[in-house]
Amino acid sequence: MCKAFHDPAMDLLWADMEDIKPLLGCVTRLHPLIYDPEHLGIDWSRGVEPLSEYEAHQFLRHAARVRSLQITGYPPYDPLRPWQHAHLFSVIPTETCVFPRLLSLSWKVGPPDNRLLPLFLSPMLRHCDAGVDCDLKSITRRCAVLESLSFKTPRYYSHVPTAGDISVLSDAIRSCNQLVKLCCPPLDSAGWRHISNLHTLVRLEIDGMYTADLLDEDVPTLAPFLNLTALYVNLEKSFLVEAARIITIIQHAEFPSLKGFKLYSDGIPWEPVEPLFRALSQWKACQTLERVYISFRNMSLQNLRSLPVISHFLCFTQLRFLQFRVYHSIHLDNDLLLEAMSSWPHIETLKLQDDTWRPRVTFCGLFAALLLCPHLHTLQLPIDAENIDIDPKAESFQHPSLWRLHFSSSRVENPETVAFIIFSRLPLVGTVECDKYFDDIVSVWREVNAYLSPLREQVPQDTYWAMLRSSSYFKNPAMS
């Protein structure tokens, strides 16, 4: 290889490591165990002697070139299990910086081997994804320029962080003054105050749970999250009291730059969550919010006729992406859909899950609403496709952007007529999708698509692709 290209080529080759095996493969003794077909497998290092000092130098030969590294326990899907290669590194002192130019580290290793984490902490580290039971102080002490931190609690993790755990976590985060992205369990009061004042913070994800009362009366007086553009809240693993506290904090905060909001809730009753939805309309983000994703599941809602979810978001006139995965009826009908579309003139993606066996949105209501949202390119909702309330052959408008259409678990009485209605009003839709839960639903929409296909073939390809390229989807695919 030409010497002038050697270093750039090697830097590129070793820059992103999804596993540490290629580096261990540089050790002569280990190479056949890793790459010999007879020894292939994730258990290749079991019973293998640790590295000698000379072999450690072989391992470190290209370590300085690595920029991104992932370390995962055994088996790969369980980060709480031991790291199967940990014993190989016993010869290397833990204060050694093995990867001096590492920028991104994903450390998914169980508690027994967290002692080895310092080996992988670089003073240049910008992004770190680790478990809540790591030596958090070591991370923030040795990596002074961190911009992205992620501390998640695995779903199957039996240990609930205590007040002491959260205090340590909060102290570690308070030492970070350049954070751009943060994912962590709920913090204590000092931690919340710190991140609310952190003007570099752009994305915040609250994920996890705690059992202790970590908040004081000053929390509602948090500083504005001045430049925060994305807020994600996961209540799936939270208890009711803790979920209510998280919601209280968010209700009393200000998010003047917020563009994206996500809420995951599983098992939390509607009553403590609804005030959060009401609070959204009081934020200054009412004029900035563009993306909303809500996933709400609670099986104790049987006596609740419908969830008034959509009404809480009508004031967000800048919405471009909205998805509700609400496992209950949201009472979607023609009037509500028309009101929503008139409130969201910029909407590009709209996905509404309405758990009802009798859809209330008809073709007449759908097309009346579509007239108000010319930028919509992706739509998912249930529709009454059995009772056709329009004249299929009457001249009507053609929507200029809609090309991804999902009609959930809607039933069809006349597939050929439905196919013609879609072809004549929605010229970019080539295939209608549906839920895969029921064979009869899948079968009838497959029949609709069979009628739709030859109709679509009548349109010249040049004409079709010209229309598709003018769709808002290709102008802004990030909103899909």
Query: What would the DSSP string read from start to end of 285-323?
Result: GGGT--EEEEEEE-TT-TT-----TGGGGTT-TT--EEE
219: left (phi over 0), alpha (psi -120 to 50) or beta: alpha
Q: What is the pLDDT along the chain (480 residues), one digit of tens a residue?
A: 577 788 888 889 999 998 888 999 999 999 888 887 665 555 788 888 999 999 999 998 899 999 999 988 765 555 556 688 888 998 898 888 899 999 999 988 877 788 888 899 999 999 999 876 777 878 888 888 999 999 876 555 555 667 777 888 889 899 999 999 999 888 888 899 999 999 999 999 988 665 555 666 656 678 899 999 999 988 876 666 677 777 888 888 889 999 999 988 877 777 777 777 777 777 777 889 999 999 887 655 555 556 778 888 999 999 999 999 887 778 899 999 999 999 999 999 999 988 777 899 999 999 999 999 999 999 999 999 999 999 998 888 899 999 999 999 999 999 999 999 999 999 999 999 999 888 999 999 999 999 999 998 888 888 888 887 888 777 666 555
Which residues contact residue 131 at a Cβ distance below 8 angstroms, ignoring those fewer than 6 apart? 79, 80, 107, 108, 109, 114, 151, 152, 153, 154
- Evaluate whether residue 427 is within a structural domain: yes
* Six token digits for residue 201: 């913070």
Do residues 305 and 279 share a domain? Answer: no
Res 474: pLDDT? 75
Question: 318 and 440, same structural domain?
Answer: yes
Domain range for 208: 147-153+160-289
Residues 374 and 480 in one domain: yes
Which among 289, 309, 343 is the end of a domain? 289
Asked if residue 379 and residue 240 are part of one domain, the reply reads: no
For residue 64, give the DSSP letter. G
Of 224, 254, 289, which residue constitutes the final position of a domain? 289
The one-letter code for the residue type at 93 is P
- SS3 call for 324: strand
Among the listed residues 361, 364, 399, the one whose alpha carbon sits nearest the alpha carbon of residue 382: 361
Tokens of 327: 């496992």
* pTM, full prediction: 0.86
> In angstroms, rounded to a whole number, what is the distance separating the alpha carbons of residues 119 and 135?
12
Question: Based on the domain organization, do 277 and 361 belong to the same domain?
Answer: no
Q: Which two tokens stand for residue 480?
A: 């899909």
Q: Compute and round to an integer the Cα radius of gyration of the chain.
A: 27
How confident is the model at residue 369, as a pLDDT?
97
Residue 32 covered by a domain: no
Judge whether 192 and 219 are in contact, CB under 8 Å.
Answer: yes
CATH code assigned at 226: 3.80.10
Last residue of a domain, which of 231, 262, 289? 289
Task: Return the pLDDT at 199.
Answer: 96
In a domain, 138, yes or no: no
Predicted pLDDT of residue 410: 93
**pLDDT at site 356:** 73
Per-residue tokens: 366:
């759908």
Same domain, 459 and 323: yes
User: Has residue 103 been placed in a domain?
Assistant: no
Return the pLDDT at 135: 76
Strand partners, 292: 261, 322
Kindly state the greatest CA–CA separation across the chain.
82
Residues 336 and 447 in one domain: yes
DSSP-assigned states of every residue in 437-474: S-HHHHHHHHHHHHHHHHHHHTS-HHHHHHHHHTSHHH
Measured CA to CA, the distance from residue 180 to residue 13 in angstroms comes to: 28
pLDDT of residue 212: 53
Number of structural domains in the chain: 2
What is the pLDDT, as a whole number, of residue 278? 78
Task: Please tell me the chain's helix, strand, coil percentages from 3-state DSSP, rounded to the nearest 5.
Answer: 35, 15, 50
Same domain membership, residue 187 and residue 264? yes
Q: Is 309 part of any domain? A: yes
Does residue 242 fall inside a structural domain? Answer: yes
Are residues 312 and 453 located together in one domain of the fold?
yes
